[in-house]
Amino acid sequence: MMLTYPNLIPVLPELFMAFMIVLILIVDAFTSESKKGINLVLTLLTLAGCFIIQKIIDRGVTQLTFNNMFILDGIATGTKMFTYLFSFVAVLYVKRYVCDKQMLKGEFYAIFLFAVLGMMVMISADNMLVLYVGLELLSLALYGLIALQRDSVKATESAMKFFILGALASGMLLFGISFIYGGTGGYLQLEYILKAMLSQNDTNGALLVFGLVFIVAGLVFKLGLVPFHMWVPDVYEGSPLAVTTIIGSLTKIAAVVFIIRFLIGGLVLLNPYWSIMLLLLALLSLFFGNIIAIAQTNIKRLLGYSTVSHMGFVALGLVTVNVDGVSATLFYIVTYSLTALAGFGVLTMLSRDGFECENLDDLKGLSKTNPVYAGLLLLVMFSMAGIPPLVGFYAKLKILAALVASGYIPAAVFAVVMSLIGAFYYIRVVKVMYFDEPVKEIVPADTCVFSRTILLVNGALLVIIGIFPTMVMMYCNQLITG
Amino acid sequence: MNYLLSLTIWTPIIFGLITLLINKNDCLARYFALLGSIIAFLFSLIVFFSFDSTATAMQFQEMWPWVGSLNINYHLGVDGISMPFVVLNNFITVLVILAGFKVIKHKVSLYNSMFLMMTGFISGSFCALDAILFYVFFEAMLIPMYLIIGVWGSSNRVYAAIKFFLYTLIGSLLMLVALIYLYFKSNGNFEILSYYKLPLSITAQTLIFIAFFMSFAVKVPMWPLHTWLPDAHPEAPTGGSMVLAAITLKIGGYGFLRFILPIVPDASRELAGLMVVLSLIAIVYIGLVAVVQKDMKKLVAYSSISHMGFVTLGCFLFANGTLNTWAVEGAITQMISHGFVSAAMFFCIGVMYDRVHSRNIADYGGVVNKMPVFAAFFMLFAMANSGLPGTSGFAGEFMVIMGAVETNFVAAILAGLTLILGAGYTLWMYKRVVFGDVVNSHVAEMDDVSKREFLILAILALAVIVMGVCPNIFVAKMHASVEQLLTQVTLSKI
């Protein structure tokens, strides 16, 4: 039998990352406690290296490899680059925090890079099983990251919760995939599934729709739509802030691409069914996410529920099943990640050994004690509320425009009304920071100048992209249309 | 291409951003902000004097592609309706910055910076000819105003700030949906002027009317959406009240003229009766409410609502399907005049508040004995607020009542009541605060206006009298544009 080697060019970034993870693990074992800084340098180099390799291998055409199970198309390249970039920034935000909280012992960076690798696989998979493998790689790494703070009861609890519920959702996803496999006559490859559905005259419709229900349930669990959102606030709250930063911002891009691959890539012909499911779940998420967030006093939980409502917006973009809607979704998720990154970045930097900046009361009078951090958090909050000229406004505008264009006017009005309710708790955070008197002095950890500069740039980007959104919008559109 | 409008809008915003950085030296921040506001005012004066009052088209237009994928343009331009407001806005801001000179002692740079940025945003919304550009400026205004009320306001400021924010936001979000709808109706176009020619069914027009109405009626504010204003005013610092009453309310009235009337003329005709009734309720009922207020700022806030009732009344006096020129021009004149008078009233209250730290009428009495110069100025503004001929307050109200007499006599009579009510609540308050004997030790310790306060009062007094004696300065500029608007409203779009 002739053994043919697969074309390894498209997977070079993944290979490089895997190699570097192993290297970091080995280096870690041989470095003394005082020289752990080398791990950080290696991690940053890995992400930068991946970014460069990704740029070099980008030929502007779709490349397939591993029997077409791995795809490198426009959306994969683009979203991976965003993932590297945001991961790089996230590492800078959390590096001080993980040192202070004694989390470096368990190879934090190696596990983190495993999570990034999982996202990369999710983004680039063209086969349902590979998608699943990527998802599991990401999830397992996240369980590990959350539980890294071994003696924290909360963290362990939320890791368990995330693990059990995540396993359940993965099970549902697999169950659904098996039905699609049977219903299409034995295909897992997304394009073949599509072809099989095109050729057969809906004979297995019931079987496919049955499978679809489970797939959608599994997918929206990862996104955190109501009623599959229960884990979101608990995990956000229980995780150490460094990990919340990763879960709350980085993973979202991969999760959305994951859903686009499944629903738009493979199962697009079933869209009359999944559109209505997503629409309902999105409206429920907008409603419950925003309403419940009002009652939160823990800012991590608050942002958790806010995420639920934002994911509702994301799902609304997908409901339209057209280029405008999907590119609006992509724009939304990229800018949301950027915004969340800045938000969690501020909270992480305000925390120190023995102090987790997580209650609203901790932020009281922040504008007096730390005006720069307060200003950044103000931008984040107004951006999430969708107030122009911040970037969140254009993200919402694009989704609403796509909705109205597809005739979902009542849904658009509902989303708008819910944004209003959302605005209430966002401006309450601003109120706490600006109008209340400080209760205790928050002394932020002395993070290095470089990290702080990046945080400032991140905050400025919320305004700059908000005023000049064209470039990012066009880029997202280009990723979709190829 | 002409960059005058961009300069007017962006000068204060850029100065505001720089002021934000001068947080070590309060004195420098104040003077720097004042410089920025004066430069912006000078730019707006150039716009005023080089404005061609015979042309009906938009002037000083600027057009750049902005967000290509949604066909949003950076499109600016002014006509006779919007131009006076740009000038008014920049004029008031100079005074507001000056008014906060000695009074504001903490977070000085943030305070001045917020006002400068807000001026820029407000000028932007008056100049914007692209719907999304308008919306961006319109919403961006909320952020500085929210902070101004919340940070420098008095005891109940947090409640007031949040109420202000949410009220304004609900209206504008509905407007956003209407704009997106129009975008698709006009084949992917956010040009406000192109909506004027867009045919729309009566149902669509009515829904769009409601969406726009929610946004602008909250801003004006019209009864029954007015309840945020009496809460926001007393809690805001003097400067905040001045800007709020003098300018931001005017964006509501401007919205009626720029959006509602020309975009949905048929729905406007259908619903004109309702609008007239709401306006009359605002004029009469809110006027009565003002009489019984104990808090001076609340009193002026209610009087603002009552005066703004004239604006909405003037905008909806239809007869045989056409609007009345007197009424519409009166509405605009009333807005400009109210800009001067309400700013002056709030400043006067602020002057007293800085000395006694109370807004209650009952805490005052006999102020004239201690502050004769101030009392004279206050008298002038109180007279203007009650519509005395020769002051600016008279011109607008008179023109609207003229229009009402021609179209709807009952409305004219009811609206005419305001001249009595206005005199009633304003002069009664004036009497209780200023005349009589010195009532307590706080009043006894008051000293007369400083040079800075005198300057502000004198400038405002000059504006009020000039505008009252010769309203034609503004009316001549707006005449051609108003006629143009009236012809547009006459045409049916169904």
Q: Which residue has the tokens 């702080």?
A: A452
Q: Determine which of A56-60, A286-290, B121-125 has the lowest per-residue pLDDT on average.
A: A56-60
Contact B169 A420 (CB under 8 A): yes
pLDDT given at position A105: 66
- A388: nearest CB among B107, B135, B184: B135
- Please compute the mean of the pLDDT values over residues A81-89 and round it to a whole number: 94
Residue A410's domain spans which residues? 9-481
Q: Indicate yes or no: CB of B69 within 8 angstroms of CB of A417.
A: no
3-state percent helix, strand, coil for chain B, nearest multiple of 5: 75, 5, 20
Question: B157 and A435: CB-CB below 8 Å?
Answer: yes
For B321-389, strand residue ranges (E) read 322-323
Q: pLDDT class for A419, splitting at 50, 70, 90?
A: confident
Contact list, A431 vs chain B (CB under 8 Å): 150, 158, 161-162
Q: What is the DSSP letter of A2?
A: P
Preferred mutation among B70, B138, B152 to probe A, highest tally of A CBs within 10 A: B70
CB contact set of B2 (below 8 Å; sequence gap of 6+): B60, B61, B62
Query: Which pair of tokens denotes residue B48?
Result: 């005023």
Chain B residues bordering chain A (beta-carbon distance below 8 Å): 23, 66-70, 107, 132, 135-136, 139-140, 142-143, 146-147, 150-151, 157-158, 161-162, 165-166, 169-170, 173-174, 176-177, 180-181, 183-184
Q: Do B135 and A401 touch (CB under 8 A)?
A: no
The alpha carbon of residue A94 is apart from the nearest alpha carbon of chain B, in Å, by: 28
Q: How far apart are CA B471 and CA B84, in angstroms?
A: 12
Range B122-160 burial, b when 16+ CB lie within 10 A, else e:
bbbbbbbbbbbbbbbbbbbbbbbbbbbbbbbbeeebbbb
Asked if B139's CB is within 8 angstroms of A371's CB, the reply is no
pLDDT classification of A3: cutoffs 50, 70, 90: low
Query: Of the candidates A400, A405, A470, which has its C-beta nearest B68's C-beta?
Result: A470
Contact state of A434 with B180 under an 8 Å Cβ cutoff:
no
Per-residue pLDDT at A220 exceeds 80: yes
Answer yes or no: do B173 and A416 touch at CB < 8 A.
Answer: yes
* pLDDT string in tens for chain B (494-residue length): 578 888 888 889 998 888 888 878 888 888 888 898 999 999 988 888 888 888 888 888 888 888 877 888 888 888 888 888 999 999 998 988 888 887 777 788 888 888 899 999 999 999 999 998 999 999 888 888 888 888 887 777 888 888 888 888 888 888 888 888 888 888 888 888 888 888 888 888 899 999 899 888 888 888 888 888 888 887 888 888 888 888 888 898 899 988 988 888 888 888 888 988 998 898 889 888 888 888 888 888 898 888 888 888 888 888 777 888 888 888 899 899 988 999 999 999 888 888 888 888 888 888 888 888 888 888 999 988 888 888 888 888 888 888 888 888 888 888 888 888 888 888 888 888 888 888 888 878 888 888 888 888 999 999 888 888 888 888 888 888 888 888 888 887 77
CA distance A399 to chain B (A): 11
The answer to whether B67 contacts A473, with C-beta atoms less than 8 Å apart, is yes
Token pair for A212: 């679809």
User: What single letter denotes the amino acid at residue A19?
Assistant: F
A338 — pLDDT class (breaks 50, 70, 90): very high
Q: 3-class SS at A8?
A: coil
When scoring A387, A399, A421 by the number of chain B Cβ atoms within 10 A, the one with the most, hence best to mutate, is A387
Q: Point out the residue among A387, A420, A477 whose CB comes nearest to the CB of B166.
A: A420
Contacts of B136 in chain A (CB under 8 A): 388-389, 393
pLDDT of residue A53: 93
The secondary structure of B261-323 as a DSSP string is HHHSHHHHHHHHHHHHHHHHHHHHHHHHHHHT-SBHHHHHHHHHHHHHHHHHHHHT-EETTEE
State which residue of chain B sits closest to A466, comparing Cα positions: B136
Q: Both tokens of residue B272?
A: 């004109």
Measured in whole angstroms, the distance separating CA B296 from the mean position of its chain's CA atoms is: 19
Q: Is residue A462 part of a domain?
A: yes
User: B68, A382: Cβ pair inside 8 Å?
Assistant: no
- Helix, coil or strand: residue B62: strand
**Dihedral sign, Cα of residue B178, residue B184, residue B189, residue B195:** negative
> Chain B interface, mutation test: which of A322, A367, A382, A397, most B Cβ atoms within 10 Å?
A397
Instruction: Give the minimum alpha-carbon distance from A401 to chain B in angstroms, rounded to a whole number.
Output: 6
**Beta-bridge partner residues of B63:** B75
| Residue whose pair of structure tokens reads 């419950």 in the numeric block | A288
Residues of chain A in contact with residue B140, where contact means CB-CB under 8 angstroms, are 387-389
CB B169 to CB A371 under 8 A?
no
pLDDT at A370 over 80: yes
Asked, for residue A2, whether it belongs to a domain, the answer is no
Contacts of A388 in chain B (CB under 8 A): 135-136, 139-140
Mean pLDDT within A28-43:
84
What's the pLDDT score for residue A203? 56
pLDDT tens digits, residue range A237-253?
Answer: 988 888 999 999 889 99
Structure tokens at A454: 């990046």
In this structure, are residues A328 and A401 in contact, taking their beta carbons and an 8 Å threshold?
Answer: yes
**Are B87 and B45 within 8 A, CB to CB?**
yes
Per residue, the 3-state secondary structure of A45-63, as one string, reads HHHHHHHHHHHHHCCCCCE
Q: Which of B113, B143, B157 to mutate to test the interface with A (most CBs of A within 10 A)?
A: B143
- Asked if B23's CB is within 8 angstroms of A371's CB, the reply is yes
Inspect the interface and report whether the beta carbons of A389 and B151 lie closer than 8 Å.
no
Distance CA B44, CA B24 (A): 31
Closest-CA residue of B relative to A426 is B162
Residue to mutate among B146, B163, B181, with most A CBs inside 10 A, is: B146
Look at residue A336 in the predicted model and tell me its pLDDT. Answer: 94
DSSP structural state of residue A5 = P
CA nearest A173: which of A143, A127, A212, A229?
A212
Answer whether A420 sits within 8 Å of B143, measured CB to CB: no
Q: What is the pLDDT of residue A201?
A: 63
Residue with the two structure tokens 């237009």: B61
Rounded Cα distance, B420 and B414, in Å: 11
Determine, for residues B140 and A388 on separate chains, whether the beta-carbon distance falls below 8 Å: yes
What's the pLDDT score for residue A1?
55
Q: Look at A387 and B143 and tell me if their CB atoms are within 8 Å.
A: yes
Instruction: Give residue B116's domain range.
Output: 4-490
Set of chain A residues whose Cβ sits within 8 Å of the Cβ of B151: 367, 434-435
Residue of A nearest to B151 (CA): A435
Q: Which residues of A touch B147 (CB under 8 A)?
A: 430, 434
Quote ipTM for the complex: 0.82
Taking an 8 Å cut-off on Cβ atoms, the answer to whether A404 and B140 are in contact is no
Give B177's contacts in chain A (Cβ within 8 Å).
Answer: 400, 404, 409, 412-413, 416
Of A389, A434, A477, the CB nearest to B69: A477
**DSSP secondary structure letter of residue A136:** H
Cβ–Cβ gap A404/B181 under 8 Å: yes
Of B147, B170, B184, the CB nearest to A434: B147
Q: What is the pLDDT of residue A337?
A: 94
B98, B116 Cβ separation under 8 angstroms: no
Residue whose tokens read 């470095």: A31
User: Cβ separation of B135 and A412 shorter than 8 Å?
Assistant: no
Of A420, A427, A428, the CB nearest to B173: A420
Q: How many domains does chain A have?
A: 1
Residues of B whose CB is below 8 A from A469: 67
Show residues of chain B in contact with A480, CB under 8 Å. none
Residue A445 lies in a domain: yes
Cross-chain Cβ contact B177/A416 below 8 Å: yes
What domain count does chain B have?
Answer: 1
Cα gap A186→A264, rounded to integer Å: 20
**From the DSSP assignment, how many helices (H) and strands (E) are in chain A?**
20, 2
Chain B residues near residue A413 by CB distance under 8 angstroms: 174, 177
CA separation for the pair B51, B233 (Å, rounded): 34
Q: What pLDDT shows up at residue B435?
A: 85
Is A427 within 8 Å of B158 when comparing Cβ atoms?
Answer: no
Q: How many residues does chain A have?
A: 482
Q: Phi and psi (nearest 5°) for B446?
A: -70, 140
